[in-house]
């Protein structure tokens, strides 16, 4: 089981993600350089946090045009799991693999703090070891994380269960005060309809060990490991499900 971690110039959570996957989760982890054009042999791809290309122009905008993203697009189209964390989420949005945009935080500045998110969907490769309504305590660290889509798209996202996580309080209520960046509808993470491509602003890799404040994020990586294991050794192109009724729809989307 090998998870690839893409390294753009300016990625800075690549090593943290590598540590969480390899040293904490116990899976094989490999770095994938931004100029790679093939993702063969990888069971999942993670786009880590950071400031790819300095986030100059617009967060994630330049990285979206890099060679590796063409490969990621094909990989995602084949129904393979792709996780974007923070800057990785921004890159997925800029690549149009996920809908919407990530705007400047409503406070107008960078925010680094622990927040809570509620699992809205437990049938993705990244949440299949969780239950809907589970609350995770994870850190955020971003300046541009305010999720936005137009009303029509929001309706579609809601209808198609593409909202994966929402910011919430300790009781699980998606209140305004629990929303750290002004995200529309408290959206912290979105997925494709199939759930195989998912982006979120909070950092699960930073919350994978209790000693650094929370181990809730590990459950996202554990989900991924379980989902990969459930698919068997030979990767099926799409649709082969995980156990426990958490089978992803596996429908490829060529957004």
| Residues within the interface to other proteins (CB under 8 A) | 9-10, 12-13, 15-16, 19-20, 50-51, 53-56, 109-113, 139, 141, 143, 203, 205-206, 208-209, 211-213
Q: Give the burial string for 209-231 (b: 16+ CB within 10 Å, else e).
A: beeeebebbbbbbbbbbbbbebb
Q: Compare residues 14 and 123 and give the one whose CB is closer to other proteins.
A: 14
User: Which of these is catalytic: 86, 120, 128, 142?
Assistant: 86
Residue 103 main-chain phi, psi, to 5 deg: -95, 170
Q: Which is nearer to other proteins, 194 or 208 (CB)?
A: 208
- Minimum CB distance to other proteins smaller for 110 or for 132: 110
Helix (H/G/I), strand (E/B), else coil: 34: coil
Smallest distance from the beta carbon of 146 to other proteins, in angstroms? Answer: 16
Residue 87 CB, nearest distance to other proteins (Å)?
10
> Quick one: 221 or 227, whose CB is closer to other proteins?
221
To the query of whether residue 203 is one of the catalytic residues in this protein, the response is yes
Smallest gap, in angstroms, from Cβ of residue 58 to other proteins?
Answer: 14
Please list the helix, strand and coil fractions of the chain in percent, rounded to the nearest 5, in that order.
Answer: 25, 25, 50
Beta strands in 120-229 (DSSP E): 135-142, 146-148, 163-168, 187-191, 197-200
- Out of 27, 94, 144, 203, pick the active-site residue: 203
Give CA–CA dist 5/14, Å, rounded.
Answer: 7
* Shortest reach from residue 20's CB to other proteins, in Å: 8
DSSP string, 214-247: B-TTHHHHHHHHHHHHHT-SSPPSS-PPPSTT--
**Catalytic center residues:** 86, 203, 205
């Amino acid at each position: 089981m090998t998870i690839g971690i893409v390294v753009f110039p300016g990625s800075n959570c690549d090593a943290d993600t590598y540590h969480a996957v390899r040293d904490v989760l116990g899976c094989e982890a490999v770095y994938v350089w931004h100029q790679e054009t093939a993702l063969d042999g990888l069971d999942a791809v993670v786009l880590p946090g950071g400031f790819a290309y300095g986030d100059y122009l617009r967060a994630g905008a330049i990285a979206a045009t890099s060679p590796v993203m063409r490969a990621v697009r094909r990989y995602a189209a084949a129904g393979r799991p792709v996780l974007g964390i923070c800057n990785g989420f921004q890159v997925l949005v800029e690549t149009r693999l996920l809908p919407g945009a990530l705007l400047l935080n409503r406070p107008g500045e960078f925010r680094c703090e622990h927040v809570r998110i509620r699992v809205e969907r437990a049938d993705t490769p990244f949440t299949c070891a969780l239950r809907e309504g589970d609350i995770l305590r994870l850190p955020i660290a971003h300046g541009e994380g305010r999720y936005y889509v137009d009303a029509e798209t929001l309706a579609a996202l809601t209808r198609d269960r593409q909202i994966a996580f929402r910011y919430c309080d300790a009781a699980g209520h998606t209140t305004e005060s629990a929303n750290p960046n002004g995200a529309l509808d408290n959206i912290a993470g979105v997925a494709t309809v199939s759930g195989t491509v998912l982006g979120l602003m909070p950092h699960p890799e930073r919350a994978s060990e209790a000693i650094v404040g929370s181990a809730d994020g590990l459950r996202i990586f554990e989900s991924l490991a379980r989902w990969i294991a459930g698919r068997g050794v030979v990767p099926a192109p799409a649709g082969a499900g995980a156990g426990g009724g958490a089978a992803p729809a596996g429908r490829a989307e060529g957004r």
